[in-house]
Structures are given as structure tokens and as C-alpha cells.
Amino acid sequence: MIGEKRMANLRALMESVIADNVPGDFIETGVWRGGACIFMRAILYAHNIADQCVWAADSFEGLPVANELKYPADAGSSFHTYKPLAISLEQVRENFRAYGFLDQQTKFLKGWFRDTLPTAPIRQLALMRLDGDMYESTMDALTNLYPKLSHQGYVIVDDYHAVSACKAAVHDYCDANGIHPEIIDIDGVGVYWRKSDTTRHDSVSAALGPSGMSHEMQISSLKEALIKLTQMVIAYLKQSLTDRDGEVAKLNQSLADRDGEVAKLNQSLAERDGEVARLNQSLAERGGEVARLQKEVSVLYSSTSWRITKPLRLVGDIIRGSQGN
């Protein structure tokens, strides 16, 4: 769809960032059948680049219904009714496969830009090609991706001269962010500019916020602060986990000590029980001895009285004998 001039321009800009070692990946927002993206992936292949990739962002179901309240510039847009612009992800993948480029260096972001771009796992970009036709689509891409574009990276806006809403989005974004790019025409339809410190507002301070930082610097320092905060929270959570572990270990130790004490008490109770049993045993033995002694005494007593009364019995016998004579 983009024609030979815009293809040649795309190749020239890609080869420019490759030659200048501008870091980052490449993205097209609005891929349709995937033609320009496949071309971008092929340029990486031709330059033996294996550590950068091409992101293909699209709803894969056509353009969105205009949100006229939020984006009045899109009022009256009927792009969403153009069925030929709705090409499925499966079809686009198949097109990449046909060229041998359905691989790790091709990444798809399926969904409306407003949903996919804010959280897309893109770290840095060397070139961004915007081809979403509408104000919303152009604005969503600039808002979410331009801060990730490297210094000396390129922005290509495919519909700048063809769709006035698209042009309006570019200027609204640039004005709001104090960016005054040198916009270069490609073929009377598409344009591009190179991101650079020199494309900023003449008076740098105009681009700076109340803190003396540019919008991008503020975002990056906020990001840094967020990372630091996250690291502090993680450190705090780790520390409190360690403290809890220490407390749990102490509790386990004191439970073990108590168990030891209980075992000792049980042991001394068992020893006392043994002693009581022994005492009962010796009491029973003494009882038996006392009974035996009592018996012996009673035997002794009875035999002594027999002996003591023996003379009396003799006298009795004598008396009884004399009486009989």
C-alpha cells in the first residue's frame, strides 16, 4: 500500500540508524497485510542483525470507530467501515511465513493501540512508522512510543499529507511536548523526522517542566523513582520475611526447650512412681515379717506356759495316784 518511494525511504532510514548504531527495535503501528513490516524484517536480515526486532501493532480487525468526544478531529471518520482494511492476524502471520520471517525477531501486538501500546514490552526504538490513518491512532502511537525512541531515531508518519486528522495529531503532540521537529516530505503523502536535541524548542527552558526537567526527563526520573521504590519495598519485604523466620526459629527453640522440660518432669515422675512402688513392696515385706514374728511369739508363749504348769500337773498326778492306792 505504501508505494515505492515510501519503501525506499523506509529502507534508507533503517540503514541510516543501522549505520549510526542507534539502539532499539523497529515498529509499525497499522500493518494491514504486513507488507512494510515484512520489508523491515528483511532489511534486518540483509544486514545480519539478530538482536533487534520488528514489532507489528494492529487490531487485525480494521480501524476503530471514531471517539468524537475525545478526538473531535476524527469526527465523521468512516474508516472503521472499510472491510478490506481488516486483515486477520493469522493471515498476516501467514504472509510473514511466506517470506521466511515468522520468527523470534517478529513480534505482534494485537489489539487497539490505546490498549496494547501503553503496556507493550518494548524497551527502546530506533524507528517508528505510524500508519494508523486516524487522529486517535497517530496520537496513541506518539504518546506511548515517542518517549521510547532513541536520540537520532526516526519517526515516519505515513498519512501526514493524506489525512488532516493525522497531521493534527502530530502537531498537537509536538506542541504539547515542546518538540519542533524538522518534518521532511517523502512523496507528497508521507513524512519523517529524526529525533534529536536540535529538534527541540529553541528555548530549552520552554520544554522544561517546573522542576527544570523536560517531559521525557520527568518520565524517566519518575520511572527511576518507581524502580527505587519497588526495590525498597522488595528489600523491606525480604527483611520482614527474615525477621519472621528468626521469630519462628525462636518459637521452635522455646517449644523444643519446653518439650525437654516436660520430658524431664515425666522422667522424675516415673522415678517417684518407682520409689513409691518400692516402698509399698518393702511395707508389704515388713507386714509379712511382723505376722511371722507374732506367730512365733504366740507359739513360744503357749509352750512356756505348758512348761511352767508341768510341776502342777505332776502334783496333780501324784495326788490322783495316792487316792487310787
Q: Which residues bind ligand SAM (CB under 6 A)?
A: 1-2, 28, 30-33, 35-36, 58-59, 62-64, 85, 112-113, 131-134, 136-137
Least separation, in Å, of the C-beta of 38 and ligand SAM?
A: 9
Element (H or E) spanning 98, and its range? Answer: helix 89-98
- Which residue is at the shortest CB distance from ligand SAM? 30
Nearest to 108 by CA among 89, 88, 125: 89
DSSP strand pairing (191-194 vs 184-185):
antiparallel
Q: Nearer Cβ to ligand SAM, position 25 or 28?
A: 28
How far from 24 is each of 9, 15, 123, 209, 265, CA to CA, in Å? 19, 13, 7, 27, 73
Q: Nearer Cβ to ligand SAM, position 141 or 207?
A: 141
Least separation, in Å, of the C-beta of 128 and ligand SAM?
A: 12
CA–CA distance, 237 with 174 (Å, rounded to integer): 42
Least separation, in Å, of the C-beta of 65 and ligand SAM?
A: 10
Least separation, in Å, of the C-beta of 35 and ligand SAM?
A: 4
Who contacts 10 (Cβ-Cβ below 8 Å, separation ≥6)? Answer: 2, 36, 39, 40, 43, 129, 156
Element (H or E) spanning 54, and its range? Answer: strand 54-58
Query: Three-state DSSP class for 132?
Result: coil
Least separation, in Å, of the C-beta of 141 and ligand SAM?
A: 8
Q: Nearer Cβ to ligand SAM, position 2 or 53?
A: 2
Element (H or E) spanning 25, and its range? Answer: strand 25-29
Q: Nearer Cβ to ligand SAM, position 13 or 207?
A: 13
Q: Nearer Cβ to ligand SAM, position 31 or 43?
A: 31
